[in-house]
């Protein structure tokens, strides 16, 4: 659909926090924010990988206070707007108020795909604070389309302006994305978004399928830096959408420069599809579980793939990170 306007939200400084073990420095944040702003990226996420308030023993402590990093990123921006992620129960309403004071102008309120009702007060507060507000339905592969639509309608009722299908495990196939996005588009009057992970090497294909089915907000990460095998790669999206005739307002060369000259310099490893991350997509396990599973595998001398397959059987979701070591210990005893 030539000339359709898409809004790209870059998640390098939030989803990428998982791969960085939440150790972003202020210098890295400033350089990335400055590059995204200069490239014309309209919104970018910045917070702990698990959202506001995520810095903790369970999810991993951040190197720096996320509010200071939001302030630093804000100082580097002339046109880009800052977005934050909020998972009710991890992040509190006061965390959102503080993020706004620090410079946030958009929030994605995230819940499991069947639990939108826990987000009502957070969505309402977001609208009161004047934020661009999105509902983020995570682990979208774990619910039939009818349930996804039902939950998305709740977000719309609460006041969300956008609702996202979130492929947290990188488990969806393109035809499934098409079906789900079309259903959301047909049943809701608000805008539809898609957030993909590349565990089955389908992030770009799934993002394109989402756009062709009616999504107008899409997420990406520079050099694919993100949980698991990473996200849909921002600079690749810009190139592909330009070839298709979609309008993003982002300069391809500039976004490539920040990816290759800034982000590549601090990435701990390339975002490859490894044995563990492939199993995330295959088994439908939350992408941020990968590093935890790898560490548990070493501690208990078991195969991380076995841990992830078992977690998939148990339908583990975000917030159940404690289950990873429990599963590893059980597998160790069995062997």
By the 8 A CB rule, do 263 and 246 touch? no
CB 217 within 8 A of CB 191: yes
**Is 18 one of the annotated active-site residues of the chain?**
yes
Catalytic residue among 18, 48, 112, 197: 18
| Residues classed as catalytic | 18
């Amino acid at each position: 659909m030539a000339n359709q306007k898409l809004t790209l939200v870059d998640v390098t400084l939030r989803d990428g926090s998982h791969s960085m073990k939440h150790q972003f420095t202020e210098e890295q944040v400033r350089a990335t924010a400055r590059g995204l702003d200069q490239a014309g990226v309209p919104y970018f996420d910045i917070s702990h990988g698990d959202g506001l308030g995520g810095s903790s023993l369970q999810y991993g402590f951040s190197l720096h206070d996320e509010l200071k990093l939001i302030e630093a990123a804000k100082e580097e921006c002339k046109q880009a707007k800052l977005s934050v992620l909020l998972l009710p129960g991890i992040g509190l309403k006061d965390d959102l108020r503080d993020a706004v004071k620090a410079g946030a102008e958009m929030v994605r309120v995230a819940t499991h795909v069947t639990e939108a009702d826990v987000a009502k007060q957070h969505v309402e507060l977001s609208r009161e604070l004047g934020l661009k507000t999105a509902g983020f339905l995570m682990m979208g592969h774990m619910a039939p389309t009818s349930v996804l639509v039902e939950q998305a309608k709740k977000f719309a009722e609460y006041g969300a302006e956008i609702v996202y299908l979130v492929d947290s495990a990188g488990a969806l196939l393109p035809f499934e994305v098409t079906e789900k996005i079309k259903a959301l588009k047909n049943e809701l009057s608000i805008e539809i978004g898609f957030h993909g992970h590349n565990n089955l090497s389908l992030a770009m294909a799934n993002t394109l399928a989402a756009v062709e089915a009616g999504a107008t907000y899409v997420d990406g990460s520079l050099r694919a830096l993100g949980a698991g095998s990473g996200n849909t790669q921002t600079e690749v999206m810009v190139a592909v959408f330009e070839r298709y005739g979609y309008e993003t307002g982002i300069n391809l060369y500039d976004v490539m420069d920040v990816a290759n000259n800034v982000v590549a310099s601090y990435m701990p490893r390339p975002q490859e599809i490894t044995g563990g991350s492939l199993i995330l997509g295959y088994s439908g396990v939350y992408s941020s579980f990968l590093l935890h599973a790898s560490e548990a595998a070493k501690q208990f001398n078991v195969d991380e793939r076995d841990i992830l397959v078992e977690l998939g059987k148990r339908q583990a979701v975000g917030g159940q990170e404690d289950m990873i070591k429990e599963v590893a210990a059980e597998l160790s005893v069995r062997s």
